[in-house]
Structure 1
Amino acid sequence: MRNDIDPLFQPYTLGTLQLPNRIVMPPMTRSRASQPGDEPNDLMARYYAQRASAGLIVSEGTWVSPLGKGYAWTPGIYTPAQVAGWRKVTQAVHDAGGRIFAQLWHVGRLSHTSLLDGRAPVSPSAIQAEGVNVFVAESDGQPGFVQASQPHALQIDDIHALVDDFRQAARNAMAAGFDGMELHAANGYLVNQFIDSNANNRTDEYGGSLENRLRFLAEVTQAMIEGTGDKGRVGIRLAPLTTLNGCADADPQTTYIAAAELLGKLGVAYIHIAEADWEDAPHMPATFKRKLREVYPGALIYAGKYTAERARSALNEGWADLVAFGRPFVANPDLPERLRINAPLNVHDRNTLFGGDARGLTDYPAMAVFMP
């Protein structure tokens, strides 16, 4: 397919950024941050730079404060050393011609006391995520999974302090050289815990009504806009139907259409929709996608087991502006070129997804010779 008619390879203006194609590398936890300190490092810089041909890279989830950490060896953006580590990453991506947003992350109740210096996780409500495991380092230093700990409910002053944490994290991301940032409001993490009705039983201004359950999303988004000084550098990730990590909403279409309308009024650059992608997952109907397009004026990114052909259809049908390819980017640093010429894809090694060294991170080969 020629580039002049292939929708995947049409340029796109996202805020102040000019993207050369519509292919996004979405956030994927890889747990390779240097210890102690959870600091980004040269290995991570090489990993992201290898994938700089994406129209846009969104970094792995990056926790904004100590209680925001939920998985071992994940990077933060809270300390000066972490900011300096991320500066290595952004410089490497920019030197390779790429563009990269930071995904700002607070896991809320999806953590364990061993990751939080013995403290309990926090959440809008004291509801444990039953049956949900989090990734920890065992006493022998090996990776393992344990049941998420019982959280305690945030007080109003705690919520206001968290909003400030996101504002400062946005400033830190800009100081680290990121082109922008994405709020992780999906997949059962803290912001999602406020939004979805089954995880939030508060009776104050942050719970109960839909307006109240969206209040934290609105306040954090506004804080990130203030932290960057440019709403065109802020995106939001939502997961209307994933029911991941124990979060679900009684009326997701109503809830997330309202969320999209809210984000449109705030003027953020994009909404990044994480579709459920496991076997027997809830299907996100086209009518829902078209309604999101009607109510939200910014860019819409979709992620969830997209093939090149499915992505092209989504772009041609008009309900998507960009499409994210997660697992294919793990094993294919040159994924855009492979999609362009319909080349075979490397298959990722599941055993090296979380933790470890360069194996399964930066050693996947690019194509030896590009086809004409």
Structure 2
Amino acid sequence: MTDLWTPISLGGITLKNRLAMAPMTRSRAGVDGTPSPLAARYYAQRAGLGLLISEGTQPSAEGQGYIFTPGLITAAQVAGWRAITAAVKAEGAAFFIQLMHVGRMSHPANVGGAQALAPSAIAPAEQMFTATGMQPIPVPREMTEADIARTIADFRASAARAIEAGADGVEIHGANGYLIQQFLAPNANLRRDGWGGSLENRARFALEVTRAVAAEIGAERTALRLSPGATLGGLDEGAEGPALYRHLVAELDRLGLAYLHLMHLGNEALLAEIRALWRGALVLNRPGRPREAIGQDVASGLAEIESYGQFVLANPDFVERLQTGAPMTPPDRSTYFGGDARGYTDYPRLVPQG
């Protein structure tokens, strides 16, 4: 029987186990989007897992939403990521950088006064943290055809920079209420052109971004994260949601991607349908999954890899704790976003490192 400790190949990369670190925004980059020098230590500490997926990283200045998030736009940012990938590879883990364009989930105060871009000019009715506190998110600007083409090109160029920085691949963020999922959701996408209306048109942006990245760096280095049914950022995929994801996954399956990463929110019937449609490696994330359920999806064959967030954030030696049955350290939520080493690189290990 396959278990978490059975190695697996993703394209030309062999993972030492079937555990992945889920992408988690930590807001510790410099004001210019260059990853913090502490980030290399943070990721390397957690390289006992087979695959590490980075925090969301903007592929363009207009793709940024939150303060102090990293980018992959400038030479300085590439150099910052290169230090991270080298540290992770020295510990024997694979590393994918997640590319995240937030779309309407932004505020001008965080991006030099720029208005956010989105499929349609509809605000999410939510607030955004800024340097002066929480502020209502304003109405974004509806993307033109030129904006869409430029954004797809930005993803492609940023993916090339990720490989230049030493990453094994790129995970495109198509989940959690950000730009790609905004195109999927009919309450955020009111377009009447070829990017809106029918479910095929609403899935088009996700597919075009994925195809562009795969053409640039190879399908075997390209992955996509989805969160079917997620309502983050005020999205509602409506009654057509399951049909949209069946169409999208069937089209993605033709591309030969490294993996599909699903944030699963409880629709077991849809998960089974996606599993039947997707013939490649499936990375499955179940938010709030209890410790005693770790490994069940790999053992059953439902997923090839399981991803974890908060467990890994608070336990740099997550793998050793699983293997020995040691208790897990609870995370300190007050240090999730921003700050320094506290709550970032100072979580205790079973055996302190020298």
TM-score (norm. length: structure 1):
0.92
Residue 135, structure 1, aligned to residue 129, structure 2:
yes
CA distance in 2, matches of 1:90, 1:66: 22
1:10 to 6, 14, 17: 6
SS of 1:217's partner is: helix
SS of 1:226's partner is: helix
Match runs of 1:192-341 below 5 Å: 192-228=181-217, 230-250=218-238, 251-276=240-265, 283-285=266-268, 287-303=269-285, 304-341=287-324
CA contact (8 A) 1:70 1:135 kept: no
Query: CA shift at 1:221, angstroms?
Result: 0.4
Counterpart position of 1:111: 106
CA contact (8 A) 1:305 1:325 kept: no
CA contact (8 A) 2:200 2:244 kept: no
Counterpart position of 2:141: 152
Residue 358, structure 1, aligned to residue 354, structure 2:
no
Counterpart position of 1:120: 115
SS of 2:348's partner is: coil
Query: CA shift at 1:174, angstroms?
Result: 0.5
Alignment-mate amino acid for residue 45 of structure 1: A
SS of 1:293's partner is: helix
Counterpart position of 2:34: 39
SS of 2:243's partner is: helix
CA contact (8 A) 1:187 1:243 kept: yes
Counterpart position of 1:60: 55
CA contact (8 A) 1:338 1:344 kept: yes
Query: CA shift at 1:163, angstroms?
Result: 0.6
Structure 2: gaps (5+ residues): none
Alignment-mate amino acid for residue 19 of structure 2: I
SS of 1:214's partner is: helix
Query: CA shift at 1:308, angstroms?
Result: 4.1
Query: CA shift at 1:6, angstroms?
Result: 6.9
CA distance in 1, matches of 2:114, 2:5: 48
Cα 1:312–1:321 change in 2 (3 A) is: same
Any idea what the Cα deviations from partners look like across 1:85-129, whole Å, max 9, x if unmatched? 111110111112221100001000000011121111000000110
CA distance in 2, matches of 1:168, 1:125: 25
CA distance in 2, matches of 1:296, 1:59: 23
Structure 1: gaps (5+ residues): 139-143, 277-282
Runs of 4+ in 1 over 4 A off after TM superposition: none
CA distance in 2, matches of 1:78, 1:26: 23
State the identity %: 43
CA distance in 2, matches of 1:115, 1:34: 13
CA contact (8 A) 2:2 2:298 kept: no
Any idea what the Cα deviations from partners look like across 1:155-175, whole Å, max 9, x if unmatched? 011100111001100111011
Any idea what the Cα deviations from partners look like across 1:111-149, whole Å, max 9, x if unmatched? 00111211110000001101x2223222xxxxx332222
CA distance in 2, matches of 1:289, 1:28: 23
CA contact (8 A) 2:250 2:277 kept: yes
SS of 1:194's partner is: helix
| Bigger Cα displacement from structure 2, 310-319 vs 78-87 | 310-319
CA contact (8 A) 2:264 2:271 kept: no
Counterpart position of 1:141: none
CA distance in 2, matches of 1:32, 1:119: 22
Alignment-mate amino acid for residue 297 of structure 1: R
1:349 to 329, 332, 337: 332
CA contact (8 A) 1:187 1:247 kept: no
CA distance in 1, matches of 2:67, 2:149: 26
